[in-house]
Amino acid sequence: MDFDPEPYELLPAVLHYIAAVGSLLFVVALVAVIWSLASRGRSGPAALIEGIKKGCRDFAQISPRRVWALSMLTIREALRRKALMVFVVFAVLFMFAGWFLQQATDRPDLQVEVYVSFVLKAITWLVLPVVMILACWGLPEDIRARSLHTVVTKPVRRSEIVLGRIIGFISVSTLILLIMGGVGYVWILRQVPDPSYLVSRVPIYGKLRYTNRLGDERNAIGLEYDYSINVGDIWEFRNYIEGGTKSRALWYFEGMDADDFDDKLIIETGFESFRTHKGDMDRGLLARLNIMNAETGLQVPLQPFTVEEYTQNLHEIPRKLQYFDEDTQDFREVDLFEDLVYDGTLKIAVECLDANQYIGMARPDLFIRLPDRSFFAGYSKAILGIWLMLSIIVVIAVSASCFVKGPVAVLLTFSFLILGQPFRSFMEKMVTGEQEGGGPLEAWYRLIHHLNTTSELPASLLTNAMKFIDQILLNFLWVMQNLIPNFEHFRMSPYVANGFDVPWSAAMLPSLVVTIAYLLPCVLIGYFSLAMRELESK
């Protein structure tokens, strides 16, 4: 597996959220007070407080029936504006996709990956633009056609309009998604040549550390080795251990409880080999797992195994293990959980047995495999992930449409989407200074003067001014980075495509938290934008 699901830290995320929203509220309040003073004089702040009170009353008096009516109107509007035409494109795509995808690879696990990725990506990128455009154009079109005027002359609160629109568009996306998801599921079942590969594996990942070739777990200053040998692979996802030495990869699994397992433990590995000489080309490199007690140092070696690359290597470890005790020169039996698990932690050391050969591994390359779940369970969670992403897009789009016109709202929402997903890592590198070449002005300067990104800029007033302006822009980028949602959380297709269940902690929880976190501020922005707006303004 080439991705590493990191558990989501909820508490730091919530604290960060409170800090970000608090800062934003402070800035907004400051601007609002200055604006009210400028426009209304000394009575401005009082009017501002009255406006906030009115807003609170409006939210407290929301009528579910009116919200429902506005939601149903939105659904009818979307359906009668032929939003379901997206199914035609979907149908055409799926009618012919099989021709091109079935020849992609011979390996059944990769075929599953190709089909599942295709279905989930097709659904995402067909529904997303439709829902985004509908949500961005809905309110501005209502204002332009003045049908909203008739609505607001009824006892309808602006908050109900915003909520009604959001719920309506989310309902539309739900309907489309359910149909497409169902069709996609059936299509995958029919296309995949070997349905036994359609599973949702449930992994437990551990913490990975290394020892050096002398077997030391810590370096000279007492730090654990969280890296090992780099064989020159430009992508440093995996570190390599050297065969025939004391170099080990150490996995620590915490929270191990015997009650959670049957009388055996299944370990799955997926290592990569790196050969410095041909060796025996007809067999893979030899490796061995050692189960260790982290406290006593008791070590039970398992049978060596051949590293089969690009496939699943399963190791079944019985609860009762026998090993040859060097001290007593006799075989001993130990209990996996009673003798080898210390303080809930299981330690597994991996060694390469072929001298001068290397085995590469990353954290997710070895995991404890719990009983599999059905493919449908994982697939449904991936669809839920798409739904959450669509929901957050709808929330942002409706809020944007409360203060700008349709095309601008589309542009704004699309920018959020682009900056929140493909450009996210680039933006983070820019903000942290990891991206070499400086800010935009410095980059221009380097381009014009044919300077590479690592050479120092000549010290001058111009370059100092450039760096100063760049810093301001980068600070703005930092603010944007904290405001724009991280859409990477919503990408659940890699899990399902690689045959895994979608994990709660690494995927479901963050996507859910991000969606909820954006809902309230966006509704507030939408409400106040609409409430302060003269609908009939010339």
Segment contacting another protein (CB under 8 A): 10-18, 141-149, 167-175, 423-431? Answer: 141-149
Classify strands 272-275 and 357-361 as parallel, antiparallel or unpaired: antiparallel
How far apart are CB 82 and another protein at their closest, in Å? Answer: 11
**82 contributes a contact to another protein by CB under 8 A:** no
Answer for which of 262, 280, 327, 534 binds another protein (CB under 8 A) is 534
Answer for which of 103, 153, 329, 460 binds another protein (CB under 8 A) is 153
How far apart are CB 155 and another protein at their closest, in Å? Answer: 4
Answer for which of 40, 53, 76, 320 binds another protein (CB under 8 A) is 76
**69 contributes a contact to another protein by CB under 8 A:** yes
**150 contributes a contact to another protein by CB under 8 A:** yes
Nearer to another protein, 138 or 485 (CB): 138
How far apart are CB 400 and another protein at their closest, in Å? Answer: 19
CA distance 97 to 231: 39
Answer for which of 17, 24, 37, 58 binds another protein (CB under 8 A) is 58
Q: Which two tokens stand for residue 333?
A: 């039996």
Nearer to another protein, 76 or 218 (CB): 76
Find out whether 493 and 117 touch, Cβ atoms under 8 Å: yes
Nearer to another protein, 69 or 202 (CB): 69
Answer for which of 23, 43, 105, 147 binds another protein (CB under 8 A) is 147
Strand blocks (E) in 293-361: 299-301, 305-306, 313-318, 320-325, 330-335, 346-352, 357-361
For residue 379, the number of C-alpha atoms closer than 13 Å in the C-beta half-sphere is 26
**80 contributes a contact to another protein by CB under 8 A:** yes
Q: Spell 407-418 as b/e; 16+ CB within 10 A means b.
A: eebbebbbebbe
Nearer to another protein, 469 or 524 (CB): 524
How far apart are CB 147 and another protein at their closest, in Å? Answer: 5
Q: To 5 degrees, how large is the angle CA 9–CA 15–CA 19?
A: 140
Task: Give the total of residues touching another protein (CB under 8 A).
Answer: 29
Per-residue binding letters, 492-531, with another protein (x by CB under 8 A) = ----------------------------------------
**327 contributes a contact to another protein by CB under 8 A:** no
Segment contacting another protein (CB under 8 A): 11-19, 155-163, 221-229, 304-312? Answer: 155-163
For residue 342, the number of C-alpha atoms closer than 13 Å in the C-beta half-sphere is 13
CA distance 494 to 107: 17
CA distance 280 to 244: 16
CA distance 420 to 5: 18
Q: How many angstroms separate the Cα of 231 from the Cα of each of 1, 28, 216, 362?
A: 19, 52, 20, 14
How far apart are CB 412 and another protein at their closest, in Å? Answer: 19
Answer for which of 156, 317, 389, 477 binds another protein (CB under 8 A) is 156
How far apart are CB 65 and another protein at their closest, in Å? Answer: 5
How far apart are CB 68 and another protein at their closest, in Å? Answer: 7
CB atoms near residue 136 (< 10 Å): 29
Segment contacting another protein (CB under 8 A): 140-148, 247-255, 265-273, 422-430? Answer: 140-148
How far apart are CB 158 and another protein at their closest, in Å? Answer: 9
Q: Which two tokens stand for residue 477?
A: 């980028």
How far apart are CB 514 and another protein at their closest, in Å? Answer: 33
How far apart are CB 110 and another protein at their closest, in Å? Answer: 47
Find out whether 119 and 180 touch, Cβ atoms under 8 Å: no
Nearest alpha carbon to residue 231 among 273, 259, 270: 273
Answer for which of 157, 165, 381, 491 binds another protein (CB under 8 A) is 157
CB atoms near residue 8 (< 10 Å): 20
CA distance 382 to 132: 20
**43 contributes a contact to another protein by CB under 8 A:** no
Element (H, E) at 374: strand 366-374
Q: How many angstroms separate the Cα of 374 from the Cα of each of 107, 283, 320, 328, 432?
A: 21, 33, 29, 47, 41
Own/partner pairs, 524-527, CB within 8 angstroms, 24+ separation: 524/55, 525/399, 525/402, 525/403, 526/162, 526/398, 526/399, 526/402, 527/55, 527/58, 527/59, 527/158, 527/159, 527/162, 527/402
Segment contacting another protein (CB under 8 A): 28-36, 143-151, 209-217, 515-523? Answer: 143-151
How far apart are CB 62 and another protein at their closest, in Å? Answer: 11
**42 contributes a contact to another protein by CB under 8 A:** no
| Residues in contact with another protein by the rule CB under 8 A | 58, 63, 65-66, 68-69, 72-73, 76-77, 80-81, 145-147, 149-157, 534-538
